[in-house]
Chain A
Amino acid sequence: MTMPRSAGRRAAPPAWRKPVLMGAPVVLLLLAFLVYPVGQLLALSVYNGEGFTLAPYKQLFSSSLYVTVLWITLKISLATTLVAVAGAYPIAYLISIAKGPAKSRLIFWVLLSFWTSFLVRAFAWVIILGRNGVINGTLMSLGIIDRPIDLLYGFGAVLVGMVHAMLPLAVMTMLAVMENIDRTLPRAASTLGARPGTAFWTVYFPLSLPGVAAAAIMVFVSAIGFFIVPALLGGRRETMITQLIIDQVQQTLNWGLAGSISVLLLTVVLAVFVLYDRVFGFSTLTGETAGATHNRDTAMRRLGGRVLGLLGSASDALLGLFPRRRPHGTGEKPAATLRVLVWAMLGLISLPAFLMVPLSFGNAGLAWPPTGFSLQWYEQLLQSPLWMQALTRSLVVAFGTGLLSMAIGVPAAFLMVRSRMRGKGAMLAFILSPVIVPRMIIAVGLFYVFAQMGLVGTILGLVIGHTVVAVPYVVMTMTAVLRNYDTRLDLAAQSLGARPLAALRHVTFPILGAGMLSSFLFAFATSFDELTISLFSSGGLSATLPKQFWDEVTLQVSPVIAAVSTGLLVFVAVLIYAADRLRRRSLAS
């Protein structure tokens, strides 16, 4: 019997080494390329190169402009959040109760919108709402109006664009919580005498609230730092605060003022998060405790309970008005009305991007309806060195970002799930902070630091910057994957003679493969669609695809955009389909 290396070994290996090795990369990355740059930017607001100054803040509050813009930003973000969350709820609910291929189909369409570039989707609305756009074109050809009406450049257009941009995010966030709700609970409620409406509002809905809250805060925080939609669809009065930061950095080079606006923005976001933590607790964000809302305000709770009870009876009364189609409730299959509603909404959110397809093959430019058939825009696209270089650069950067984020994020996720170290909650909050800090602030801070380091315009700089914003998603998805993984399988493998690396290779990775692939794709797609950081850090000449897209739509709109959009749409669809196929193959095997 051979037992090399173990003879006489009495001391346990040092327990601290592994966690440090696993956690250090992500912490160092974020310290160097999140905390330091953002800190620099914030410092610039009180330091003018010679000493302490409050001049930027005087400037900020002396004119009503900035406060007004902040107010508008909050108003748009809040409206977006309300509409997006309300719209996302039925979709997420249907997905969570659907089964088999129906579920996969629903998820495919949500993912397609989710991963279709923000730029493509926002630009599609320009086409739809424009003077020669889809709506005006259709109404005029039907003879309902005889002069185009102004739909673009107003609050309505911005709201539509923002909701469209945020809805898939809301669905995905909510779904994470809803999938964890024990499906037998509403059924148990009905055996206890609750009618369907009451069962939904008093059992299911309260359990899904953490998901609603998580979706709301994700949408709100993303919306508040968003500039693509207001810039493309809004008028002067829909200017949002991030656009002001861009102006300060790109046009007036007033870093102090940019810093002070960032402070303002960050303060608002942090205030929202503190409020959120007070009410729901951060753990709900990672879908950890479905249903375990520690609502501290008991009066609120009681009131909430009463309102939900009323809603329940009201919907039961409403349902009672209709003749029962099936004798024993709705059973397993979701109600037809819900399905129709959800598919209509999915159609609506998918449609805009698909409008680009006929336009890209027409020969009449971007006016609706498209006429003729030609491939000229694709030819132009393929012959344009600018677009082709941007495409190559984006692919390289996205691939690099995927690899780097996985290398850094996967060990961190293992640490978050497996170790029992202290301060884990704080570390998780730190890792997720790039999601919370408005992207614009990170981007401007990185630009400032990259300029000092000579990283502006380099692939490396972009990869680092994109990794900072992609790594939280990798950690989040991998944490979820690892939580479902039975660690006893590793132990079993080891007891059967597998050394740790063999256990990883033969057991852990094959089982986690699909989850790791989707994490990688998440990071890849985040980078591939990243505009804010690239806007500054790609430098003037070495644009990425989104940056090139942005330059085109803001400077000169050409139908090549439609061809690019179609290409992106196909690319994303193929990617999702392939990922799903791979996932299913690994499940089946």
Chain B
Amino acid sequence: MSSSSLTVQGLAKRYGDFVALAPTDLVVADGEFLTLLGPSGSGKTTLLSLLAGLVPPDEGSVRIGAQDVTYAPPYERDIGVVFQNYALFPHMTIEENIAFPLKMRKVAAAEAKKQARAALEMVHLPHIAGRYPRELSGGQQQRVALARCMVYKPSIILMDEPLGALDKKLREHMQLEIKRLHREMGTTVVYVTHDQEEAMTMSDRICLMNAGRIEQLGTPADLYFRPRTLFVADFLGESNLLPAALGTRVGDEAEIRLGSDGIPGRALANGQDLPAGSAVRVMVRPQNLGVARPAGDGVPGVRGRVSDVMVTGSLTKVYMEPLDRALPPLVAAFPTRNEADAIRIDDVLALSWNSRDAVVIPDAAASAGAAKAA
């Protein structure tokens, strides 16, 4: 039996008429690192609070291992929570704050003190043990909150944007620290962040949330390369989303016709089971979009007029207006090259991509529009 897996079934929370979390199913494996990602107000904290038992659900159940803990109070769950607003006790010193969970677990005072010191050492704050929370900066408070949660080695740790207030360097250090702890202790971690990069680098799986429901759940690569909805494609990284009509299936790929000219092409079908002729979008990441001087006028393909060129250090980004007005503006990115063959504004370029790098995504808005028109 996996004792610290989390199983959520039909879990829902409403505030009055407002649905903070629609009925949700989710399984977090023992020892997994799962990240909840999503825009502000999408229900990440709500889901986390339900897992921790900080608020009661309206329906559904939560199990830890085989135990039903839906209505069990937080102190019976052996979880650790790092709160979005730290929630350090203002009347206790930092050391007392960190020793608090040990004291609650009846650890002898001397031992608790030793462990608290070690935890402070870990977050690089050994010198502030005697201070009070209000005497710390936001970032320091956040690290104390982390230390307080980790000091008693709970089998499940829930973290609500634990690194939000840190600068880049410290943040990267703490990310490593959290990963190390996760690895060494085999803790199950549910992690909330706004930062896509953080989500991608740290997680086993990412749970992308939108408006109180799970939009897609999968490995970082799943979400990045095989988004199942436009929302996911749009939320994670930059993407080009080209409107197209779906043709016939060829193996795991599908024929597509792009834009108003019906330029033929291919893309990964992405497991989507859509009838031929459906309106879809084809997603191509900027780094997978090749640009070249057009070879000749007869060759069909997507052409774009350069509207802007930006050199962002190692990458050059080229923004283009497609000649086919039915296509949205596009962006291509490639390693910055020597300026000999520099691309200039108003140049017309031919665009290409490998069909393995293009993905079909159903276009909910377009099919809704079509349904209305019919």
Residues of B within 8 A of A12 (CB): 56, 71
- Distance between Cα atoms of A336 and B104 in the complex (Å): 54
Residue-wise interface mask of B (67-92) relative to A, using a CB-CB cutoff of 8 A (1 in contact, 0 not):
11111111111111101010101110
Bound-complex Cα distance A499 to B54 (A) = 13
A150 beta carbon closer than 8 Å to chain B: no
B105 touches A (CB below 8 Å): yes
Given A502-B104, A511-B90: A488 and B69 interface contact (C-beta under 8 Å)? no
Q: Do A3 and B69 touch across chains, with their CB atoms under 8 A apart?
A: yes
Chain B residues lying within 8 Å of A10, measured Cβ to Cβ, are 61, 68, 70-71
- Verify if B155 is at the interface (C-beta below 8 Å from A): yes
A13 within 8 A of B: yes
Q: Is B65 an interface residue (CB 8 A)?
A: yes
| Whole-angstrom CA separation of A589 from B132 in the bound complex | 8
Does B258 lie at the interface of the complex (its beta carbon under 8 Å from any beta carbon of A)? no
Interface centre among A3, A496, A510 (most CB of B within 10 A): A496
Considering the complex, which residues of chain A in the window 1-35 have a beta carbon less than 8 Å from any beta carbon of chain B? 1-13
Complex interface: chain B residues within 8 A of A13 (CB): 71
Q: Contact between B91 and A497 (Cβ–Cβ < 8 Å)? A: no
Which residues does chain A contribute within 8 Å of B73, judged by CB atoms? 494, 499-500
**Does residue B3 face the partner (Cβ distance < 8 Å to A)?**
yes
Residues of chain B in range 194-243 having any CB-CB distance to chain A below 8 Å: none
Q: How far is the CB of B157 from chain A (nearest CB, A)?
A: 10
Complex Cα gap A493–B78 (Å): 12
Q: Which one of A6, A8, A488, A586 contacts B91 once the chains associate, using CB atoms below 8 Å?
A: A586
Return the CB mask of A487-511 against B: 1 if under 8 Å, else 0: 0110111111111101000110011
Closest to A500 in B: B73
Q: A7-B67, A497-B152 are known contacts. Are A492 and B83 too (CB-CB below 8 A)?
A: yes
**Which of B52, B65, B76 interacts with A5 by CB under 8 Å?**
B76
Is B143 in the interface zone, CB < 8 Å from A?
A: no
Query: Contacts of A8 on B, CB cut-off 8 Å?
Result: 68
**Is there an interface contact between B71 and A11, defined as CB atoms closer than 8 Å?**
yes
- Return the contact of A491 from the options B54, B72, B76 (Cβ within 8 A): B54
Interface residues of B in 14-50 (CB under 8 A from A): none
In the complex where A1-B65, A511-B91 touch, is A495 in contact with B74 (Cβ < 8 A)? Answer: yes
Question: Is there an interface contact between A498 and B75, defined as CB atoms closer than 8 Å?
Answer: yes
* B contact residues around A332 at 8 Å (CB): none
Contacts of B81 in A (CB 8 A): 491-492, 495-496
The verdict on A488 contacting B67 (CB below 8 Å), with A3-B76, A497-B75, A506-B100 known, is: no
Report Cα–Cα, A499/B77, bound state, in Å: 11
Known: A3-B72, A498-B75. Is A510-B91 also a contact (CB below 8 A)? Answer: yes
Q: Which of B3, B80, B149 sits near A1, CB closer than 8 Å?
A: B3
A486 within 8 A of B: yes
Please, which residue of chain B has its CB at the minimum distance from the CB of A499? Answer: B75
- Are B155 and A1 touching (Cβ within 8 A)? yes
- Interface-centre pick from A6, A493, A495 (highest chain B CB count, 10 A): A495
5 nearest A-B residue pairs (beta carbon): A6-B72, A492-B87, A496-B101, A497-B104, A495-B81
Using a CB–CB cutoff of 8 Å, the interface residues on chain B facing chain A are: 3-4, 52-54, 56, 61, 64-65, 67-81, 83, 85, 87, 89-91, 100-101, 103-105, 132, 148-149, 152, 155
21 A-B pairs with CB atoms under 8 Å apart are A1-B64, A3-B77, A3-B78, A7-B67, A9-B72, A10-B61, A10-B70, A489-B87, A489-B90, A491-B83, A491-B87, A492-B83, A493-B89, A493-B100, A494-B53, A495-B77, A496-B75, A496-B152, A497-B105, A498-B104, A586-B91
